[in-house]
Structures are given as structure tokens and as C-alpha cells.
Homo-oligomer: A and B are copies of this chain.
Amino acid sequence: MKLVVYLAGEIHSDWRGDLKEEAEAKDLQLEFVGPQTNHQQSDDIGEDIIGKQPGKLYRDDAASDINNLRTQVLMQKADIVIAKFGEEYKQWNTAMDASAATTLNKPLIIIRPESLIHPLKELSNKANVTVENNEQALKVLEYIFA
């Protein structure tokens, strides 16, 4: 049995690559999918495809059309969603993906530093499991096959 894991959130470290490698090293039957991690490409994708927009609002909306389509396609394929929050940025799209996942009954793991306990408390409470680092998240995945 192979499981698909959607990795939402932080795109400024290579945690996805790390998880993938460790999962392979442990020979877990996992396929990882996730958002576009090239931040620039993710911001440009709307204008890249449908052309120059008349301002930032429209440019952002055009990019979001396509980023949200991507997320919807891949999250619907996912058996499990992991959402990673970091110290930087508003990360509302990460909160959005996490909330959508749990509302769709996708099992949800949140990774967040201790410093974010309070602002993430309601979302953490809705998640199945909240951990503080990638290693812990991987252990949760590993336990499914144990």
C-alpha cells in the first residue's frame, strides 16, 4: 500500500527534499506532492500564462488561480497532508491548505516551532497531530507502516 502525502507550507528551506530522502532511506511507500516551491515562479505563473495584468491585485489573482488549481488537484490525490509553519511571513495559504485538508477529512500533521503555539492553537487543535520538526513528522508517517 502506497500513500500520497501533500506537503503544504514553507517553501524557503528544502524540508521536502529532506523528507523524501529519509522516507526513501527507510523504504517507506510514500509519494510526496506539494506546491510550486520556486517562489518567483509561483508569483509569476499567472502573467506567464495569461499575460501582463493591470496591477498587483490582478497579477496576484491570476497567479492564485493557477496555484489553487494545482493544490486542489494534488490535495485530492493525497492520503495525508503535512503543513509546515515557519517564523516568517503571514503563511495564510498554509493555514488555508491545512484547514481545507481537515475539513475534507484528510488526516493532517502540523509542523511548527514552539514559538507559534499560541497563534496556531485553533488550527493545531483541529489537526490530528502537531509536531515541531521534520523528524517527528516522518516518525508519524513511519508508524502507519509499523
Partner-B contacts on A (CB < 8 A): 1, 3-4, 31, 33, 36, 41, 45, 48-50, 54-58, 60-61, 63-74, 76-77, 79-80, 89-93, 95-100, 102-105, 107, 109, 116-126, 128-129, 131-132, 136, 139-140, 143-144, 146
Contacts and interface: CB of A to CB of B under 8 A. Distances in A.
Contacts of A104: 103
9 contacts: A36-B143, A60-B117, A64-B124, A68-B126, A73-B144, A76-B79, A90-B116, A91-B92, A91-B119
A123 B54 contact: no
Given A93-B123, A103-B103, 15 more contacts: A3-B73, A49-B139, A50-B131, A60-B117, A61-B125, A63-B121, A64-B125, A68-B126, A69-B109, A71-B122, A73-B79, A76-B105, A93-B121, A100-B102, A103-B104
